[in-house]
Structure 1
Amino acid sequence: MIAATKFFSVDDLKVQIYNSEAEMAQDVAEIARKYLQDVLELQDTAAVLLATGNSQLKFLDALIALGGVDWSRIILFHLDEYLGITADHAASFRRYMRERVEKRVFPQQFHYIEGDALQPVAECDRYTKLLQAQPIDLCCLGVGENGHLAFNDPAVADFQDPYSVKLVKLDAVNRQQQVNTGHFPNLNSVPQYAFTVTLPLICSAKKILCLAPEKRKAQVVKEMLEGSISTESPASILRKQSQATLFLDINSASLLSLKC
């Protein structure tokens, strides 16, 4: 069993730091597996909300490789999708999830946001009803370079959002991140709008595991943990969630002054 090298809390948020991203991913996978096993001992199914992005790759691979989860009793959702993008587009989050998760574990159901729906507002309503049909047992998150959770960028983040799913305009930092991480060839090719699950829905999950490795996340992690709890850093809302844990590697934690 791999263990974190440092443990501390910031407000209600638990934080764990690891020597490497690989060690972090392996330990989070073991935590997620044990939690899902415990949930399925108490109820027939578990609802899980998954994130995409490079921060999730090692974790998802490790979780699937561990085995021991009865995926036939798991109902899966995802956090966001670009507006107007087809399911087979190289950057589609539906494609990411189908290739990296659904085709490997065969869950009971994977509910997808249809990014190319003919009526986007109706699609928000449809997905909202699916999410609200049962409590979310586990939410797995990443943190964007502008502090976003899902596509809740600072300009559109709302800690009291009345919606569970909404359409938002992506900011320039977010869109450039998609280019920098290889999802699109240039800024003009990144869609300007996207569907996102909102912050209150994310925070309603019974357990939240947030992974934020790599040096490029160091500044936003510092702002998230050492700045004020504000929509200027949407991820800072996790500091009010006692059911949440933030997992860092030594690179993403490198700028923190509050490590203990």
Structure 2
Amino acid sequence: MIPAKTFTVDALSVCVYNSESELAQGAARIGKEYLQAVLGQKETAAVILATGNSQIQFLKALIALGGVDWSRIILFHLDEYLGIEADSTGSFRYYLRERVEKQVKPAQFHYIQGDALEPLAECDRYAKLLMAQPIDLCLLGVGQNGHLAFNEPEVADFHDPRRVKLVKLALQTRLAQVKQRYFPYLEAVPQYAFTVTIPMLASAQKIICLAPGLDKASIIKKMLTESISPACPASVLRQHANASLFLEKNLASLL
């Protein structure tokens, strides 16, 4: 699927599509071709997956395309709520198990154990798994306040010495989870979460960031036109040597 428009902002490649469906198909094809290239050069590939509504059509399209030997793919994810059980429908483990793991049977899927009895030890455990091999591909979405994973503007650190940490979630982020129907009401959304940090996700050889929908035009404008700053964590992608942002046409309207 060819984008309607492409341009660059600093090092970041921006691809604009006419619809969410075309965006998902275009990004999926690029993801497939990249993973095929990686697996042509080494035995396994490591991928960090994102969740949320921005990823649903993309994941479906990527799996439907075929051509990826998932038995050679090691999967991780970006974040998980503190205290949530794996079988909770609001859990990112549940989201990814149903939409990805059950569909493709990867070599391994390393999950953040949100209900771990020792959360700080879980941060250390997951960080060691992430650092055990280079990350070939990181998939991202952009939060309404510009967060990447759960690196909220208040806690994002472009030079964070940690690879995984615990953070308190912004009210706007928690409200978004209710709006997207992952939780029935605000009080049901956990206040804290595990997140992969900015330096860890930025260490990926390639980043694909998806921003479908029409409700994030203002934050995308800030991400692309204002200074690169933790005040808009997603702006850090403008410094990555191999990152692509996929937008819907209407979302790019303020640019």
Which residue of structure 1 lines up, in the alignment, with residue 15 of structure 2?
Answer: 16
Which residue of structure 1 lines up, in the alignment, with residue 138 of structure 2?
Answer: 139
Structure 1: how far apart are the matches of 2:234 and 2:8? 15
Which residue of structure 1 lines up, in the alignment, with residue 168 of structure 2?
Answer: 169
Which residue of structure 1 lines up, in the alignment, with residue 83 of structure 2?
Answer: 84
Structure 1: how far apart are the matches of 2:72 and 2:205? 17
Which residue of structure 2 lines up, in the alignment, with residue 222 of structure 1?
Answer: 221
Q: Deviations over 1:10-36 (max 9, x none)?
A: 011010100001001001101000000
Structure 1: how far apart are the matches of 2:102 and 2:188? 28
Aligned-partner SS, 2:215: helix
Q: Which letter maps to 1:205?
A: A
Q: Which letter maps to 1:68?
A: G
Q: Which letter maps to 2:15?
A: Q
1:184 CA displacement: 1.0
Structure 1: how far apart are the matches of 2:182 and 2:216? 17
Structure 2: how far apart are the matches of 1:211 and 1:124? 26
Q: 1:113·1:123 contact (CA, 8 Å) conserved in 2? A: yes
1:217 CA displacement: 1.3
Structure 2: how far apart are the matches of 1:67 and 1:89? 29
Which residue of structure 2 lines up, in the alignment, with residue 32 of structure 1?
Answer: 31
Matched, 1:101 2:61: no
1:251 CA displacement: 2.1
Residue segments in structure 1 that go unaligned for 5+ positions in a row: none
1:255 CA displacement: 1.2
Q: Which letter maps to 2:16?
A: I
Structure 1: how far apart are the matches of 2:210 and 2:4? 16
Structure 2: how far apart are the matches of 1:227 and 1:183? 31
Which residue of structure 2 lines up, in the alignment, with residue 255 of structure 1?
Answer: 254
Structure 2: how far apart are the matches of 1:197 and 1:33? 24
Which residue of structure 2 lines up, in the alignment, with residue 115 of structure 1?
Answer: 114
RMSD value, Cα:
0.5
Aligned-partner SS, 1:246: strand
Aligned-partner SS, 2:158: coil
Which residue of structure 1 lines up, in the alignment, with residue 243 of structure 2?
Answer: 244
Residue segments in structure 2 that go unaligned for 5+ positions in a row: none
Structure 2: how far apart are the matches of 1:228 and 1:189? 35
Q: Which letter maps to 2:162?
A: Y
Structure 2: how far apart are the matches of 1:184 and 1:154? 23
- Count matched residues: 255
Q: Within 5 Å, which residues of 2 pair with 1:179-190?
A: 179-190=178-189
Q: 1:215·1:252 contact (CA, 8 Å) conserved in 2? A: yes
Q: Deviations over 1:174-218 (max 9, x none)?
A: 111111111111111110000000000011000000000111111
Which residue of structure 1 lines up, in the alignment, with residue 206 of structure 2?
Answer: 207
Scaled by the length of structure 1, the TM-score of the pair is: 0.97
Q: 1:15·1:245 contact (CA, 8 Å) conserved in 2? A: yes
Q: 1:124·1:195 contact (CA, 8 Å) conserved in 2? A: yes
Aligned-partner SS, 2:245: strand
User: Deviating runs (4+, > 2 A) in structure 1?
Assistant: none
